[in-house]
Amino acid sequence: MNQDYIILMEKLKKINAYNMALVLFQWDNATAAPKRAIEHTAEAMGILSDAYYRALTGDDMSALLQRLNSASDLTPEQHAIVLKTAEMYEEIRLIPADEYAAYQTLLAKADGIWQNAKLNNDYASFAPVLKEIIAYAKKFAGYKAQARNYSGPLYDMALDGYEKGFTTEVLDEFFEKLKASIVPLVRLAVKNHALVDNCFNFRRYDIELQKKISRKLAAHIGFDFDRGVIAESAHPFTTSLHNKDVRITTAYLENNLESAMFSTIHEGGHALYEMHIDDAFTCTPAGTAMSMGIHESQSRLYENNIGRSRAFWEPLYPMLKETFPEQLRDVTLEHFVKGINQCVPGSIRTEADELTYCLHIMVRYEIEKMIFSQEIDVLDLPGVWNDKYEEYLGLRPQNDSEGILQDIHWAGGSFGYFPSYAIGTAIAAQIYDHLKKVMPLDQYLAEGTLTPVSDYLKEHLHRFGASKPTMQLISEMTGEPFNPDYYIQYLQEKYTKLYSA
Amino acid sequence: MNQDYIILMEKLKKINAYNMALVLFQWDNATAAPKRAIEHTAEAMGILSDAYYRALTGDDMSALLQRLNSASDLTPEQHAIVLKTAEMYEEIRLIPADEYAAYQTLLAKADGIWQNAKLNNDYASFAPVLKEIIAYAKKFAGYKAQARNYSGPLYDMALDGYEKGFTTEVLDEFFEKLKASIVPLVRLAVKNHALVDNCFNFRRYDIELQKKISRKLAAHIGFDFDRGVIAESAHPFTTSLHNKDVRITTAYLENNLESAMFSTIHEGGHALYEMHIDDAFTCTPAGTAMSMGIHESQSRLYENNIGRSRAFWEPLYPMLKETFPEQLRDVTLEHFVKGINQCVPGSIRTEADELTYCLHIMVRYEIEKMIFSQEIDVLDLPGVWNDKYEEYLGLRPQNDSEGILQDIHWAGGSFGYFPSYAIGTAIAAQIYDHLKKVMPLDQYLAEGTLTPVSDYLKEHLHRFGASKPTMQLISEMTGEPFNPDYYIQYLQEKYTKLYSA
């Protein structure tokens, strides 16, 4: 084996160990740690981040990667790992070590502050830390723009961290297109709202029983409990230590049946991706999805395209009805499937229906553009947020907990992340269309046989990890480039049928 | 501030961060991680251990500690931290870096292997890894003996890691003394067994309700849920990341009421100690108890001396009876308090009554002495274990899961640890006697007011962390040196009264 590659792998093992420790602390803070733990834990996380940073940016790394980049004796897998490591290296070395460590410590603290602010509807307590995070995010984007000699919008550099090629120019056009097709459909749904009922969703559903249902749904789509766990947190998320330790969380609400079920299917879709990544890539920088958009395509595919279809629920609905016989006594399968596809504009993104979802993303996209293009006062943001909700969704959030404080992303410094949700949703529709062409998908779903679906996705997508660019993965799998028209067509067909009197 | 001390603190922050990551991985492996996680996680833990080792044994550490040891401008707290760091440094530098890392990786793997072996009653699958761990333990004890030029029994060097001064010579005498007083009492209890009934304990107790009881009991003794959590694991334990993140586990059995209750009180006693350690010491090598024995004294004090007293249950028993009205309908407080003090020789240490407990420890002590003094075949150990149980407790374990596989300690490399349980139990009785002299203890317990107890222990013991030797702590608190006669007297009074016809 190439001697330089052996040296690189030794370094990557170290880098991976520090990263795994950080991922575990983040998971633990969200799911298990006592409230006051962060008072001392944040500092330890800062030190581990610093160790990670130093291991990745060590003196000899640059020359090593350069030599490996031009080496001719690497396998394609090894080459992909070198490329992905180089990308990470280039990204992180833009940031000075002390700023990187201080930023990580800040984020560790911000998580608890955000959680409390959300709990107590107290945006003012979160604002100072948000201000600091924004200052870092803009500074880091500036470093990248400078290194690339990029003179376009600063926000493009934040977006680049999540989805290459999707600049504000591209996204403005993409969102305009979505808006033009979604808004008329939402109007139709609001006008004919009486056609779809989901009152059953808000009856009282015992949380212990909901947990059992969540586990069954996860297992049904292929979640492997020997390689993964489900826990609870304020905001559902997926995290992965490696392909044999993939973790999802769900938040259970007693008066909402759909919430936990569909967030479990959603995070389960993410989890399948991580569990299926090849052993050749796991524990290396190529051991995750290439981009947030392609990751999100899998959660959305399972949650919506598959998970809200009639065929999917045919074998499952009897089990659900048996679990909640009183609550679902008067609800037929037809009724249920219509209900879980109901479109009602609301203030919570994670509770949004499939049709209005991208409008929530547009609000965040536009606020992030604003944050990166001008000096804003963080105390003005809740007002901007609420105004945009009124403009796009026709409602004002009742308070900041249900408004600007609802998402964890900004507390985690993830500016530029939100658009990936919309991109991923569009990719999901393209893949869903493709699946229907290559296999009798509805028949499999109706039989309760989801293994052919996850096997196909593993073979043609998941196993590659970050070894191929997103757009290449889509082309090779579906036979054509990324095309958001599938998504628009899917929404038009589905919602015209559902809401036509 | 002393410049060298500032440098030491920077180093200790790093050492602490690596240690915290390792503690978190260990906790997570026992409570949350999926089964297959360890396939990749073990390696990352090995790397973090290596980073810990290197941070502690860095080139300049020796000179730094020497300078600080003779510095005249340190506060007593700073001096204690320097001393404790020097002790850790001396201990760990005896072991070569590569052996230390390999050993940590081995232990990370051993945990899962032991858990499966216990689950499947398959000692043979654990034997090879136990053999490896024993080889390391003996090798490391040998390094210490060599460094100290010690020619006594090798096992003394293992014991020294948990309780200074308690050599095999001291322990042989200690255990002889215990045996002489315990054995006649056990005979009395067996003879008059009809006087005490605890059939109620084995009725069906809903596990969710047991969890609520455990939380109430923990809160009752002073466990602060803002600084701590309770989770589940195969074998109950306490771990601490720092004084604001202290974690205990419990294992719930549907057909055993006492098991989870008393293990929660036991681990809760450990947790109080860790939560009460002064901020000046937490996150440093002085930020834990000085020894395992003094730590165990607090868990035993709460579990047995306090937790099995009539006064303790007076205010709590109505709540317990309300939670389990059917199961406890025919059980009076008198009956219950007798029942929880029943003495019945059994095969499980953690389920053992207060009287036979130290006999379980003797079995382990004698086997460890044997392991360190001769070449044994690990496959012979189950037989030795069972023979000793027959000799001391009059019974043979039904299988290895209930025999040699019951404890996690050897899988974790903790040879020399077990005797601390007996030492701690004796210290607990001495402190219990002292508490009764300095406060109206039974009155407080009967009122359900346990704050004066935990405040006193915090003030006179817990807050010092590892800044004072165990024997000094006992003398300063109780006004006299360690004296096991309090324990013997306590047992004699209690069990003579309980089992005299």
Write out B318-352 in H/E/C secondary structure: HHHHHHCCCCCCCCCHHHHHHHCCCCCCCCCHHHC
Average pLDDT over residues B90-95: 91
pLDDT tens readout for residues A231-273: 999 889 999 999 999 999 999 999 999 999 999 999 999 999 9
Residue with tokens 């005498």: B173
Nearest CA in chain B to A16: B44
Q: Contact A40/B241, CB-based, under 8 Å?
A: yes
Q: How far apart are CA B151 and CA B164, in angstroms?
A: 17
pLDDT at residue B234 is higher than 90: no
pLDDT of A100 reads: 87
Q: Per the residue annotation, which of A258, A267, A351, A354 is the catalytic one?
A: A267
Q: Strands, E, within A192-318: which ranges?
A: 228-232, 238-242, 245-250
Distance from CA of B109 to the nearest CA of A (A): 15
Tens of pLDDT, residues B96-109 = 988 988 998 899 88
Looking at residue B108, its pLDDT comes to 83
| Shortest alpha-carbon distance between residue B39 and chain A (Å) | 8
CB–CB of B48 and A17 under 8 A?
Answer: yes
Percent over 90 (pLDDT), chain A: 92
pLDDT greater than 90 at residue A39: no
Find the Cα–Cα–Cα–Cα dihedral A51, A54, A58, A64, rounded to 10°. 80
- Per CB-CB distance under 8 Å, the chain B contacts of A36 are 226-227, 244-245
Which residue in A40, A48, A282 is closest to B242 by CB distance?
A: A40
pLDDT at B402: 96
First to last CA, chain A: 67
Nearest to A283 by CA among B107, B97, B18, B37: B37
Q: What mean pLDDT, rounded, does chain A reach?
A: 95
Query: For residue B146, is pLDDT > 90?
Result: yes
The pLDDT score that the predictor gives to residue B319 is 97
Residues of B in contact with A51 (CB under 8 A): 14, 17, 51
Residue A48 has its nearest CB partner, among B17, B32, B244, at B17
Contact A40 B208 (CB under 8 A): no
Query: Using CB atoms, which residue from A33, A40, A227 is nearest to B34?
Result: A227
State residue B351's pLDDT score.
85
Is residue B441 very low, low, confident or very high in pLDDT (cuts 50, 70, 90)?
A: very high
* Residue entry with tokens 């003012």: A124
Q: Which residue of B39, B209, B226 is the best one to mutate when testing the A interface, meaning the one whose CB has the most A CBs within 10 A?
A: B39
What is the rounded distance in angstroms from the CA atom of residue B176 to the CA atom of residue B155?
18
- Residue B247 pLDDT class (50, 70, 90 cuts): very high
| Cβ distance of B40 and A227 shorter than 8 Å | no
Q: Do A44 and B229 touch (CB under 8 A)?
A: no
In tens, the pLDDT along A47-94 reads 999 999 999 998 899 999 999 999 999 999 999 999 999 999 999 999
Q: Count of H helices and E strands in chain B?
A: 21, 3
Question: The tokens 């008393």 sit on which residue?
Answer: B262
Q: What is the mean pLDDT of chain B?
A: 95
pLDDT (0 to 100) of residue A80: 96
Q: Tell me which residue has tokens 């002390």.
A: A98
Q: Taking residues A403-418, what's their average pLDDT?
A: 96
Q: Which of A344, A328, A389 has its CA nearest to residue A364? A: A389
Whether the per-residue pLDDT at A108 is higher than 90: the answer is no
pLDDT of residue A480: 95
Q: Which residue has the tokens 């550490």?
A: B61
> Do residue B242 and residue A37 have CB atoms under 8 angstroms apart?
yes
CB-closest option in A35, A41, A44 to B226: A35
Whether B267 is catalytic is: yes
Whether B111 has a pLDDT exceeding 90, the answer reads no
Q: What is the pLDDT of residue A448?
A: 97
How far is Cα of residue B255 from the mean position of the Cα atoms in its chain? 25
Model confidence band, residue B235 (pLDDT cutoffs 50, 70, 90): confident
Alpha helices in B122-256 (DSSP H): 123-148, 155-160, 168-191, 207-221
**CA–CA gap between residue B299 and residue B421 (Å, rounded):** 10
**B319: CB partners within 8 A, 6+ apart:** B216
The lowest-confidence range among A36-45, A143-152, A250-259 is A36-45
Q: Which of A39-48, B286-295, B317-326 has the lowest mean pLDDT?
A: A39-48
Question: In this complex, how many residue pairs, one in chain A and one in chain B, have their CB atoms less than 8 Å apart?
Answer: 122
Position A413 scores a pLDDT of 96
Tell me the per-residue pLDDT of A169-228, one tens digit each, with 9 for 90 and over.
Answer: 999 999 999 999 998 999 999 999 999 999 999 999 999 999 999 999 999 999 999 999
Reported as a single tens digit per residue, the pLDDT across B1-25 is 899 999 999 999 999 999 999 999 9
Confidence check: pLDDT of B379 > 90: yes
pLDDT of A279-321, one tens digit each?
999 999 999 999 999 999 999 999 999 999 999 999 999 999 9
Q: What percent of chain B has pLDDT over 70?
A: 100
The four Cα atoms B350, B354, B360, B362 give a dihedral, to 10 degrees, of 140
CB-CB: which of A16, A31, A39 is closest to B44?
A: A16
Whether B280 has a pLDDT exceeding 90, the answer reads yes
State which residue of chain A sits closest to B245, comparing Cα positions: A37
Closest CA to A404 of A182, A100, A35, A134: A134
Mean local confidence (pLDDT), A112-135: 96
Nearest CA in chain B to A245: B37
Query: For residue A72, which amino acid is it?
Result: S
Taking 90 as the threshold, does the pLDDT of residue B167 lie above it?
Answer: yes
**Tell me, what amino acid is at A286?**
A
Q: Taking 90 as the threshold, does the pLDDT of residue B48 lie above it?
A: yes
Of A36-50, A128-142, A236-250, B401-415, the one with minimum mean pLDDT is: A36-50
pLDDT digits 0-9 by tens, A415-432: 999 999 999 999 999 999
Long-range contacts of B49-53 (CB under 8 A, 24+ apart): B49/B18, B49/B22, B49/B100, B49/B101, B49/B104, B49/B105, B50/B97, B50/B100, B50/B101, B50/B104, B51/A14, B51/A17, B51/A51, B51/B18, B52/B15, B52/B18, B52/B19, B52/B22, B53/B92, B53/B95, B53/B97, B53/B100, B53/B101
Alpha carbon distances (Å) from B158 to B166, B420, B482 = 10, 12, 21
Any idea which of A63-67, A233-237, A337-341, B246-250 has the lowest mean pLDDT?
A233-237
- Averaged pLDDT, A333-344: 97
Which pair of structure tokens corresponds to residue B125?
A: 């699958």
**Which tokens hold the place of A484?**
């958001």
How distant, in Å, are the alpha carbons of A336, B13, B178 from that of B348? Answer: 52, 40, 19
Whether the per-residue pLDDT at A459 is higher than 90: the answer is: yes
pLDDT at res. A105: 86
Locate A454 and state its tokens: 């996850």
Marked catalytic residue, from B132, B258, B267, B368: B267
- pLDDT confidence of residue A235: 83
Phi, psi (degrees; rounded to nearest 5) at B54: -70, -35
pTM of the predicted protein model = 0.90
DSSP A468: S
pLDDT at B19: 97
Interface of B with A (CB under 8 A): 13-14, 16-18, 20-21, 24-25, 28, 31-37, 39-41, 43-45, 47-48, 51, 208, 225-229, 231, 241-246, 282-283
Give this complex's ipTM.
0.89
**Which pLDDT does position B329 carry in this prediction?**
97
Eight-state DSSP code of residue A288: S
Residue B372 has pLDDT above 90, yes or no: yes
Closest-CA residue of chain B to A10: B47
Mean pLDDT value of segment A394-411: 95
- Out of A28, A41, A227, whose CB is closest to B36? A227
CB atoms within 10 A of CB B125: 13
Chain A residue numbers with beta carbons less than 8 Å from the beta carbon of B283 are 40, 43-44
What 8-state DSSP symbol labels residue A430? H
